[in-house]
């Protein structure tokens, strides 16, 4: 039997190559998405600045299972607690904050920035003094050798340093080098311990504790002992997760990565299983004559099944083994899109273990074996004489299992559409139900494609005859008698158009609605940005005092949670209350923003209704660093469902962010102000602030677009990958169907048809495939687009250019006609008599 298997593989190269490609590429795609999911779950961040500490103690990075968006600092008294643990040789506190060396008032580190630390923490990287001595008192610093070279500083010289909104001269007492080289950390400036705590302005709290073990102490045992000692007061990190202590807020991106990988991974598994099954099923359909002959010469049904399963097993094992390495590269490519666009820090390492590889292999093999059992069952069970008769013309396709499977996909696709439109709220998880709806519905349509195709061809019969003449008559005859074959070409087109149209219009709708909503929400004409750690408290007052300024407000962005009525994650915005409504569209409908001072909050009227509060009540809020506060509600403003946030005083919110200071100031010009003169004044003021720059309103919109585009490239990359796989499935199906018909084309030419007439017939058939596939694919896409647009925009019509749809249809037409006409034209270069006499 195995000898027969390998001989069959040798002489059926075209069909087996198509099946192999479907399995190979499908397994690679699933493995790549699985690697992305594993990376999000593990969040491995090899340490950089804390590399010398095998155990790191840092603040809790989650609260009630939700990742914090800002650094949660710890009490310095915890250092003594950790130091008392048996096996601890040294417990070293670490403090980090923006500290910028200036030359001529400009940061010497450029856009990369630099960071200040306490000198004791230098041993955690480790850094060692190259020249000079450690800083012993206020006004003294040690620079790393890179900063010293760029600023022209040397031991004993002075440098200007901006930290926490102030600029001061410091004496350089030493220059340090990182041991072992490498530049995986930001340029470093070291201060005395007391000076570092003062400049960090954290209320005396520290960022982390690096734990150095005593000789002979096991890192794993020490980590557990320290964890038991600190309890719930901190998080203990070991191994490749230690780097998370250097990346505050990174765990907040874990949910994004895992959700994205889960959504597209599930899509990929569905599409890959369908693609493998349809390709293999088509290959087996084309071998009905071969199966019939085997049965006619005495081969039993069991032997036929064993042969088919053997062929599939050989291809499956080979394809999945070869897919392991490309799958990893594909996963790294997808992850590179996420890190390259700021979704997650590039310090988090890509990880792919054996589980994604196993899932990808199982998905491809399961699809192949399932298709083999399903499609090969009829050939294996049919009586030999009947098999020989039926192998000439395939018309039977309908079975009860096929109908039940199609109804299952239809029901789930429609259910997801209904859930999206009626249950889901506008937010990041909206696509998790909207997106798969079109995939499921498209698969359901593909399963019933033979019957649907026959019905549509019947409807189109008269117009096709009138428009295409003899070529159309031949094409219609083929479509009517070979509806199963035509459906094999239509099915992947449905999937291709359904997925591409649904996903791309989801993204274009998201982009358009977000940009329009943000533009309406922001009233400012200018924005002053800081790249040197933020603005001190007096800067916004200076801006407000400039002639021509109608209002100016600091803007601090963070994320938190309202701990009432079940809890709700929400964006937080820190503003200068007196001018908040002049720079943002938050004109109060109750209360006054003038009262936004101290521990107070303002929110939209609908949010107030949701949380059950009124002006004068308190609202329990968990800030981005985990701090619980109960601010008093002082104002309500009109609700904007696309821009949901709470307003707090910037002086209250900023200390609970990792930066610690406002990094933006929004400026609104007077109606009759001279814009040129005002811009000059703002530029002069910014020149006096280290790292400050002024930009116009267009920059605000651009910044928001950049934020919105963070996931766009990753989405498009994954969609392109899945659509590309669907396109390959289309090509496989069309080329296989066309090559099988070479004998038919030869007979037509022997009976008087010209090569051009045969090509004309194929063109009409291709047109029918395109029309049917486009119509059904569009219906499938509507199950995603309509509910998504209803939630996002209140209308069933998506946002975005019609050019997107036309480009998708155009691409499908290129695939259809390219994969049909090119192999047909090449096949007809062989004399027809040779084609007819060649064995099938």
C-alpha span between 727 and 3 (Å, rounded):
34
Backbone angles phi and psi of 57, in degrees to 5: -105, 125
Which of 726, 736, 826 minimizes the C-alpha distance to 442?
726
Cβ atoms of residues 9 and 283 within 8 Å: no
CA distances from 170 to 80, 142, 325, 467 (A): 31, 10, 53, 86
For 399, the domain range is: 393-520+705-840
C-alpha span between 227 and 207 (Å, rounded):
17
Q: Is the pLDDT at 384 greater than 80, yes or no?
A: no
- Which pLDDT score, from 0 to 100, does residue 414 have? 93
pLDDT digits (tens, 9 = 90+) for 417-428: 999 988 887 766
C-alpha span between 177 and 567 (Å, rounded):
48
Give yes or no: residues 78 and 198 share one domain: yes
Q: How many domains are there within the chain?
A: 4
Which of 101, 98, 97, 95 minimizes the C-alpha distance to 168?
101
Give yes or no: residues 36 and 70 share one domain: no
Q: For the residues of 218-287, what is the DSSP string, one character each?
A: -HHHHHHHHHHHHGGGSEEEEGGGGGGGGSTTTTHHHHHHHHHHHHHHHHHHHHHHHHHHHHHHHHHHTT
User: Which of the 8 DSSP states describes residue 89?
Assistant: E
Give yes or no: residues 236 and 87 share one domain: yes
Question: Is 713 a member of any domain?
Answer: yes
Count of other CB atoms within 10 angstroms of residue 697: 18
Give yes or no: residues 342 and 404 share one domain: no
DSSP-derived 3-state class of residue 192:
coil
- 484 or 123: which leads in pLDDT: 123
Q: Is the pLDDT at 390 greater than 50, yes or no?
A: no
- 292 or 383: which leads in pLDDT: 292
- Which pLDDT score, from 0 to 100, does residue 391 have? 46
Mean pLDDT of 697-708: 58
- Which pLDDT score, from 0 to 100, does residue 777 have? 93
Question: Is 126 a member of any domain?
Answer: yes
Backbone angles phi and psi of 62, in degrees to 5: -140, 155
Last residue of a domain, one of 353, 369, 390: 390
In the structure encoding, which two tokens stand for residue 143, read together?
A: 């620079």
Helix (H) or strand (E) holding 473: helix 449-481
Confidence of residue 834 (pLDDT cuts 50, 70, 90): low
Mean pLDDT of 348-365: 83
C-alpha span between 32 and 38 (Å, rounded):
10
Residues 778, 781, 787, 790: is their CA dihedral positive or negative? Answer: negative
Q: Is the pLDDT at 85 greater than 70, yes or no?
A: yes
- Which pLDDT score, from 0 to 100, does residue 383 have? 60
Q: Of 712-726, 772-786, 804-818, which has the strongest mean pLDDT?
A: 772-786
Mean pLDDT of 475-486: 74
DSSP-derived 3-state class of residue 103:
strand
Give yes or no: residues 615 and 716 share one domain: no
Mean pLDDT of 781-799: 91
Give yes or no: residues 382 and 288 share one domain: yes
- Which pLDDT score, from 0 to 100, does residue 521 have? 83
DSSP-derived 3-state class of residue 341:
coil
C-alpha span between 31 and 362 (Å, rounded):
10
pLDDT digits (tens, 9 = 90+) for 497-527: 988 898 889 888 888 887 777 778 888 889 9
Strands 140-144 and 166-178: parallel
Give yes or no: residues 562 and 513 share one domain: no
Q: State percent of the chain over pLDDT 70.
A: 86
Q: For the residues of 709-747, what is the DSSP string, one character each?
A: TTTHHHHHHHHHHHHHHHHHHHHHHHHHHHHHTHHHHHH
pLDDT digits (tens, 9 = 90+) for 758-782: 788 878 888 888 899 999 999 999 9
pLDDT digits (tens, 9 = 90+) for 641-659: 778 899 999 999 999 998 8
Of the given ranges (121-135, 288-302, 747-761), which has the lowest mean pLDDT?
288-302
Question: Is 570 a member of any domain?
Answer: yes
C-alpha span between 387 and 293 (Å, rounded):
8
pLDDT digits (tens, 9 = 90+) for 220-247: 999 999 999 998 889 999 988 898 888 8
Q: Is the pLDDT at 7 greater than 60, yes or no?
A: no
DSSP-derived 3-state class of residue 90:
strand
Residues 109, 114, 116, 119: is their CA dihedral positive or negative? Answer: negative
| Residue listed under structure tokens 């594909």 | 330
C-alpha span between 214 and 206 (Å, rounded):
23
Buried b / exposed e over 718-727, threshold 16 CB at 10 Å, is bbebbbebbb
Give yes or no: residues 563 and 680 share one domain: yes
Q: What are the beta bridge partners of residue 527?
A: 666, 695
Q: Is the pLDDT at 795 greater than 60, yes or no?
A: yes
Give yes or no: residues 66 and 133 share one domain: yes
Give yes or no: residues 60 and 188 share one domain: yes
Q: Is the pLDDT at 819 greater than 60, yes or no?
A: yes
pLDDT digits (tens, 9 = 90+) for 588-609: 999 999 899 999 999 999 999 9
Q: Of 7-16, 263-272, 275-284, which has the strongest mean pLDDT?
A: 263-272
CA distances from 296 to 306, 310, 333, 386, 839 (A): 17, 21, 51, 9, 17
Helices (H) and strands (E) in the chain, counts: 26, 25
Strands, E, within 53-139: which ranges?
55-58, 62-63, 66-67, 88-94, 96-103, 106-107, 115-118, 127-132
Give yes or no: residues 245 and 107 share one domain: yes
CA distances from 608 to 544, 561, 602, 645, 649 (A): 31, 14, 9, 11, 18
Backbone angles phi and psi of 556, in degrees to 5: -115, 130
Of the given ranges (139-143, 187-191, 336-340), which has the lowest mean pLDDT?
336-340
Q: What are the beta bridge partners of residue 742?
A: none
C-alpha span between 786 and 558 (Å, rounded):
32
- Which pLDDT score, from 0 to 100, does residue 632 have? 95
Q: Is the pLDDT at 182 greater than 50, yes or no?
A: no
CA distances from 715 to 263, 280, 349 (A): 11, 29, 20
- Which pLDDT score, from 0 to 100, does residue 13 have? 60
Q: Is the pLDDT at 48 greater than 70, yes or no?
A: yes
Question: Is 525 a member of any domain?
Answer: no
In the structure encoding, which two tokens stand for residue 145, read together?
A: 């050798």
Last residue of a domain, one of 363, 390, 417: 390
Of the given ranges (115-129, 344-358, 368-382, 616-630), which has the lowest mean pLDDT?
368-382
CA distances from 208 to 237, 622, 659 (A): 10, 22, 16
Considering the chain, what is the average pLDDT of its residues?
82
Q: Is the pLDDT at 546 greater than 80, yes or no?
A: yes
pTM: 0.77
Question: Is 696 a member of any domain?
Answer: no
Q: Of 267-281, 312-326, 797-811, which has the strongest mean pLDDT?
A: 797-811
CA distances from 591 to 295, 580, 634, 803 (A): 86, 14, 6, 48
Mean pLDDT of 734-758: 72
Q: Is the pLDDT at 294 greater than 60, yes or no?
A: yes
Confidence of residue 288 (pLDDT cuts 50, 70, 90): low
Q: For the residues of 381-442, what is the DSSP string, one character each?
A: HS-HHHHHHHTT-------HHHHHHHHHHHHHHHHHHHHHHHTPPSSTTHHHHHHHHHHHHH
C-alpha span between 588 and 676 (Å, rounded):
31
Question: Is 258 a member of any domain?
Answer: no
Q: Is the pLDDT at 715 greater than 70, yes or no?
A: no
Q: What are the beta bridge partners of residue 172?
A: 141
- 315 or 597: which leads in pLDDT: 597
Backbone angles phi and psi of 403, in degrees to 5: -65, -45
Q: Cβ-count burial of 756 within 10 angstroms (0-12 exposed, 13-18 middle, 19+ buried)? A: exposed
Give yes or no: residues 285 and 247 share one domain: no
Residues contacting 685, CB < 8 A, separation 6+: 528, 539, 542, 543, 546, 692
Last residue of a domain, one of 358, 390, 422: 390
Mean pLDDT of 423-449: 83
Question: Is 459 a member of any domain?
Answer: yes
Q: State percent of the chain over pLDDT 90.
A: 26
Question: Is 695 a member of any domain?
Answer: no
């Amino acid at each position: 039997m195995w000898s027969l298997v390998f001989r069959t593989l040798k002489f059926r190269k075209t069909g087996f190559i198509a099946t192999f490609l479907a399995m190979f590429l499908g397994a690679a795609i699933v493995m790549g998405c699985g690697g992305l999911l594993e990376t999000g779950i593990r969040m491995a961040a090899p340490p950089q600045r804390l590399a010398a500490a095998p155990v790191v103690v840092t603040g809790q990075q989650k609260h009630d299972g939700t990742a914090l968006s800002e650094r949660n600092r710890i009490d310095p008294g915890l250092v003594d607690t950790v130091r008392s643990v048996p096996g601890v040789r040294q417990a070293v506190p670490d403090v980090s904050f923006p500290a910028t060396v200036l030359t001529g008032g400009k940061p010497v580190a450029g856009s990369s920035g630099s960071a200040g630390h306490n000198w004791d923490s230098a041993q955690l990287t480790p850094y060692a003094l190259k020249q000079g001595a450690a800083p012993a008192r206020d006004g003294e610093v040690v620079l790393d050798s890179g900063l010293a070279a760029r600023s022209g500083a040397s031991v004993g010289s002075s440098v200007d340093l901006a930290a926490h909104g102030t600029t001061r001269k410091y004496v350089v007492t030493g220059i340090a080098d990182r041991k072992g080289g490498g530049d995986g950390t930001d340029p470093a400036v070291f201060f005395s311990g007391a000076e570092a705590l003062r400049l960090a302005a954290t209320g005396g709290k520290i960022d982390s504790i690096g734990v150095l073990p005593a000789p002979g102490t096991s890192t794993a045992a020490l980590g557990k002992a320290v964890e038991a000692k600190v309890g719930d007061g901190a998080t203990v990190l070991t191994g490749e997760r230690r780097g998370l202590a250097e990346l505050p807020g990174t765990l907040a991106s874990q949910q994004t990565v895992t959700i994205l990988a889960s959504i597209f991974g599930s899509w990929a598994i569905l599409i890959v299983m369908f693609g493998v099954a349809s390709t293999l099923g088509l290959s087996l359909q084309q071998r009905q004559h071969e199966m019939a002959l085997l049965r006619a010469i005495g081969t039993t049904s069991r032997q036929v099944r064993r042969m088919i399963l053997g062929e599939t097993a050989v291809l499956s094992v080979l394809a999945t083994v070869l897919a392991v390495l490309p799958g990893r590269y594909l996963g790294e490519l997808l992850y590179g899109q996420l890190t390259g666009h700021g979704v997650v820090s590039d310090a988090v390492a890509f990880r792919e273990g054996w589980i994604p590889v196993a899932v990808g292999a199982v998905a491809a093999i399961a699809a192949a074996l399932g298709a083999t059992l399903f499609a090969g069952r009829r050939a294996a069970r049919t009586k030999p004489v009947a098999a020989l008769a039926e192998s000439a013309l395939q018309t039977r396709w309908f079975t009860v299992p096929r109908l039940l499977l199609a109804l299952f996909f239809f029901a789930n696709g429609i259910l997801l559409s209904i859930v999206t439109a009626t249950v889901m709220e506008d937010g990041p998880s909206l696509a998790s139900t909207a997106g798969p709806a079109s995939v499921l519905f498209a698969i359901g349509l593909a399963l019933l494609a033979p019957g649907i195709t026959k019905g549509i061809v019947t409807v189109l019969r008269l117009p096709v005859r009138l428009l295409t003449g003899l070529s159309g008559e031949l094409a219609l005859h083929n479509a009517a008698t070979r509806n199963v074959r035509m459906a094999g070409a239509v099915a992947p087109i449905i999937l291709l158009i359904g997925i591409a149209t649904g996903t791309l219009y989801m993204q274009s709708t998201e982009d358009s609605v977000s940009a329009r909503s943000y533009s309406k929400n922001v009233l400012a004409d200018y924005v002053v940005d800081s790249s040197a750690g933020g603005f001190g408290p007096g800067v916004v007052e200076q801006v407000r005092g400039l002639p021509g300024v109608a209002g100016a407000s600091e803007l601090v962005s963070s994320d938190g949670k309202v701990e009432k009525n079940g809890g709700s994650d929400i964006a937080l915005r820190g503003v200068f209350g007196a001018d908040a409504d002049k720079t943002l569209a938050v004109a109060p409908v109750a209360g006054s923003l003038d009262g936004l001072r101290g521990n107070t909050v303002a929110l939209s009227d609908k949010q107030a209704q949701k949380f059950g509060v009124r002006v004068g009540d308190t609202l329990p809020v968990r800030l981005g660093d985990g701090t619980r506060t109960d601010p008093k509600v002082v104002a309500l403003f009109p609700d904007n469902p696309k821009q949901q946030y709470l307003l707090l005083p910037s002086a209250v919110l900023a200390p609970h962010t990792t930066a610690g200071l406002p990094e933006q100031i929004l400026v609104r010009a007077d109606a009759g102000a001279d814009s040129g003169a005002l811009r000059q004044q703002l530029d002069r003021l910014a020149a006096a602030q280290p790292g400050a720059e002024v930009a116009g309103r267009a920059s605000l919109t651009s910044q928001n677009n950049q934020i919105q585009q963070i996931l766009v490239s990753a989405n498009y990359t994954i969609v392109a990958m899945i659509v590309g796989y669907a396109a390959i499935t289309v090509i496989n199906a069309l080329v296989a169907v066309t090559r099988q018909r070479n004998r038919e084309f030869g007979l037509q030419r022997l009976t008087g048809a010209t090569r051009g007439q045969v090509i004309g017939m194929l063109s009409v058939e291709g047109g029918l495939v395109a029309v049917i596939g486009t119509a059904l694919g569009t219906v499938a896409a509507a199950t995603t687009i309509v509910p998504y647009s209803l939630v996002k925009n209140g209308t069933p019509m998506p946002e975005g250019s019609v050019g997107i749809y036309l480009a998708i249809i155009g691409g499908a037409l290129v695939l259809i006609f390219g994969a049909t006409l090119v192999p047909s034209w090449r096949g007809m270069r062989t004399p027809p008599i040779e084609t007819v006499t060649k064995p099938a």
